[in-house]
Structure 1
Amino acid sequence: MEQSWVGTWWPALRRVVAGPDVPPARTPPERWPRLARFLRPAGLFAMVGLFAATLAWEYNRHLPGIVPPLFAALTIAPLLVLPRRPLLAWRLTMVALATCTFNAPPRAPWPWSPVLVLGSLLVLAIVAARVDRPMLVWVGLITVLPVLTLVHPNNRVGVLLLVLVLLVLGDLVRGNRLSRHALAAQTELSEREQERRAVLEERARIARELHDVVAHHMSMIAVQAETAPYRLAEVPDGARAEFTAIAGSAREALTDMRRLLGVLRSESTGPQTAPQPDLTDVPAMVDAARRAGLAVTLHAPAPAAGAPAPVGLAAYRIVQEGLANAARHAPGAAVRVSVRPGARGLAVRVENTAGPAGPSTAERGAGHGLTGMRERALALGGTFAAGPLDDGGYAVDALLPYDGEDGNG
């Protein structure tokens, strides 16, 4: 118990007396930047006024020579450093309380100037809200020493109660501030975790869709390899063995993909038996968007139908998400969808003009649609870009590589 006391309270006392200062809080000019040019001159004017009032009060005590200006400067000094160095301000206050009693009337209720009394209470309140609890106890004990020694006995109880109230309120303020900071940090952590989970779920969904597409083709390879020897007139024994090996490898690959799908699917997600959409379904989707009130035009050359199934699925989903974003973030805007096969792959672009209410705000969306589109493009080895246009609209561009031919139009 004694070792624990020494390890807790002795370092706290050293920090109070001669340790580094506590981190400063945001000053009013930092909290309200627009008022900074008014707050700083106002603060300087207030300090000059308090200095003059203290100086007049000290001269009325008939102090000799340079003593009144020194006492007035010592009274104002804690208030000058309080915004940046609260603990240093408290130390200067203790020095002022101990020295500014020179030539005070013996029966005076207060041996200090009113400015020093009010400033001391302000400094104590600020420090109480900035230091931890062990330091707060030492600050309170050291503060009451000049009160018990120099204050008139009739005023000691009231002053002690006032100091105690300030210490308790300061500790409550500090605890509330720490709780808000902890809550903000936890909220940020939760948001990051939700974003990461959304990305993982989107990747798993993409993997499931790719599985459905690729598994269909693997099954066709296996069936064709097994039936090829029966459809050919003459098949050498070596070729028959190769067909058998191809069919076996295809079925093994299909089994491995089904096992992978079992890992990707959650318990609440059943198998998807509906056929996956492709490029041939894009016109129907655009027609449905028109019927829903979206002003959309489609530019898709005929050779686009030759794209592989994974590329067609990714292009369909990108167009689908692009139309949804345009309808959500730029209602009433004109949308142009372009699906163009080229030498480097399938180029997909969804762009919208600025909505009647103003520029597009799709980049400020809270969902994860852009993340899903980017994941689909990158999964195929392609590229993806999205951003605002000069005219206030928004555009989504994806290049999905495959061995295609140049299209026209």
Structure 2
Amino acid sequence: MDRSTLRGALAALRRTVAGPDYRRVRLPLGWLRSRPRATAALRTLGLLALLGLTLITAQFLLDSRRLPVATAWVIAILAVAPLPLLLTRPLLAWRIMFVGQLFGTFNRRPTDDWPWSPTQILVIVVVLTTVAARVDRAVLAWVGLFSLLPVWIFVPPRNQVGITLLFVALLLVGDLVRHNLLARRALAEQAELSELEQARRGVLEERTRIAREMHDVVAHHMSMIAVQAETAPYRLSAVPEPARAEFVAIADSARAALTDMRRLLGVLRSESEDPQTAPQPGLAELPALVAAAQRAGMTVTLSTDIPAEPSAPVGLAAYRIVQEGLANAARHAAGAAVRVTVRELAGGLAVRVVNSGEGSPAGPDARGGGQGLTGMRERASALGGTCVAGPTSDGGYAVEALLPGDREGGTP
């Protein structure tokens, strides 16, 4: 026998004699939780059954063994005590049963085929079968060996072989039940993993399909816009400098949209759920955003009063809200003056995008169907802030958001 096998056997022996027990088994009796009366009735019946078995065992010992009353009651309690512990403490139940095996032979008659009372024999059968279905094989080997010792010592020789075979059969049946349950559990876990894998593949395939559709539709059109905006000044004669600047702004916006689109498509196609490490825009990029809008022909003024840069999520949310506000103003109030204000308040960061009522109203194709306002509200709500939008008194439109003012180094 090599050292590893010997160490494993000794570890199993230590656990069998005085080691930690196995975890309890929860029976599928959830329906009892909603029926307290049924639970109380079952507990009462169980206690009465245990008390009845104890009384029967004690009376048997008093009549057949002529034991003192105290001794008979101690042995009777040892005989019945393992039963309520089988589900919660199987090893402890077996240890009590083994002690009962030893003490249950007191004052036995030489002519008895069994040195134990009928109740104790029944308990031994139940405990051995249940424990065999709960413990590892190494521990089970020690349990079987210790359980057979009283048989070889106290049982008459003519019955030792039969009782030994009976105990071995009980241990084998319990072990087969345990391995059957383990196999079923492993099969159920494998089936669950297969379902999760199939679901994950389905999600990935759907994300890939969405990414492909977005690339074929949106990215293609944005590429065409960028190309046409870049070549338009060369195809047209006598293009004024302001118009040329607007074409350049359109091309830059289209290329920026393509970059964001490619990043989004990469996320959709990727199977990994790791956080994206690409830099995200923040308040520092607001001047460039406003400059791009001005090059596109919009009249935009920016006013910021931020003593310290907010955290990345807050800065990104503020940037996206301003970006969407400018896009809405360009779509629905072309030519109107737009003012962007970002300032610090006691409760956080205030973002306001307001356009005057002097712009041209949106055409039928530009009205409705967008998700810009919903997206702004969702961004603010995700950070614990608020976002409201509505018409102003002069006929314009305003978007106002209040975001939490947490900084990278603390709160204001």
Please indicate the TM-score interval, normalised by the length of the shorter structure: 0.5 to 0.7
Tell me, yes or no, if structure 1 residue 110 matches structure 2 residue 114.
yes
The equivalent residue for 2:408 is none
User: 2: CA distance between counterparts of 1:30 and 1:262?
Assistant: 46
Among 366, 373, 386, the alignment partner of 1:345 is 373
User: 2: CA distance between counterparts of 1:173 and 1:146?
Assistant: 26
Tell me, yes or no, if structure 1 residue 135 matches structure 2 residue 139.
yes
How far apart are 1:158 and its partner, in Å?
1.9
Structure 2 counterparts to residues 2-401 of structure 1, below 5 A? 2-27=2-27, 32-33=32-33, 34=35, 35-60=38-63, 61-211=65-215, 212-234=217-239, 305-306=365-366, 345=373, 383=378
How far apart are 1:256 and its partner, in Å?
10
Give the alignment's TM-score, normalised by structure 1: 0.60
Query: Which segment is superposed worse, 51-60 or 64-73?
Result: 64-73
User: 2: CA distance between counterparts of 1:64 and 1:257?
Assistant: 90
Where 2:173 maps in the other structure, the secondary structure is: helix
> Which amino acid in the other structure matches residue 16 of structure 1?
T
CA distance change for structure 1 residues 136 and 31 in 2, over 3 Å: closer, same or farther?
farther
Give the alignment's TM-score, normalised by structure 2: 0.59
CA distance change for structure 1 residues 24 and 263 in 2, over 3 Å: closer, same or farther?
closer
CA distance change for structure 1 residues 66 and 206 in 2, over 3 Å: closer, same or farther?
same
> Which amino acid in the other structure matches residue 52 of structure 1?
L
Provide Cα deviations, 1:144-201, integer angstroms capped at 9, x if missing partner. 1111111122222221121111111111111122223223333333344344444433
> Which amino acid in the other structure matches residue 3 of structure 1?
R
User: 2: CA distance between counterparts of 1:187 and 1:202?
Assistant: 22
CA distance change for structure 1 residues 141 and 262 in 2, over 3 Å: closer, same or farther?
closer
> Which amino acid in the other structure matches residue 306 of structure 1?
A
The equivalent residue for 2:287 is none
User: 2: CA distance between counterparts of 1:45 and 1:261?
Assistant: 69
CA distance change for structure 1 residues 15 and 304 in 2, over 3 Å: closer, same or farther?
farther
Query: Which segment is superposed worse, 248-257 or 72-81?
Result: 248-257
Structure 1 contact 225–247 (Cα < 8 Å) conserved? yes
Query: Which segment is superposed worse, 150-159 or 106-115?
Result: 150-159
Provide Cα deviations, 1:36-80, integer angstroms capped at 9, x if missing partner. 333212211111111111111011121134221122112111223
> Which amino acid in the other structure matches residue 161 of structure 1?
L
> Which amino acid in the other structure matches residue 10 of structure 2?
W
User: 2: CA distance between counterparts of 1:71 and 1:132?
Assistant: 29
> Which amino acid in the other structure matches residue 114 of structure 1?
P
Structure 1, unpaired ranges of 5+: 267-301, 316-343, 347-379, 385-398
User: Rg larger in 1 or in 2?
Assistant: 2
User: 2: CA distance between counterparts of 1:345 and 1:303?
Assistant: 19
Structure 1 contact 222–251 (Cα < 8 Å) conserved? no
Structure 1 contact 225–243 (Cα < 8 Å) conserved? yes
How far apart are 1:89 and its partner, in Å?
1.1
How far apart are 1:251 and its partner, in Å?
7.8
User: 1: CA distance between counterparts of 2:21 and 2:59?
Assistant: 32
The equivalent residue for 1:377 is none
User: 2: CA distance between counterparts of 1:26 and 1:259?
Assistant: 49
The equivalent residue for 2:402 is none
Where 1:345 maps in the other structure, the secondary structure is: helix
User: 2: CA distance between counterparts of 1:243 and 1:41?
Assistant: 87
How far apart are 1:263 and its partner, in Å?
10
Identity of aligned residues (%): 47
How far apart are 1:129 and its partner, in Å?
0.6
> Which amino acid in the other structure matches residue 9 of structure 1?
A
How far apart are 1:219 and its partner, in Å?
0.3
What's the RMSD between the two structures over aligned residues? 3.9
Provide Cα deviations, 1:280-306, integer angstroms capped at 9, x if missing partner. xxxxxxxxxxxxxxxxxxxxxx97731
Structure 1 contact 28–39 (Cα < 8 Å) conserved? no
CA distance change for structure 1 residues 263 and 22 in 2, over 3 Å: closer, same or farther?
closer
Provide Cα deviations, 1:354-408, integer angstroms capped at 9, x if missing partner. xxxxxxxxxxxxxxxxxxxxxxxxxx66749xxxxxxxxxxxxxx9x9xxx99xx
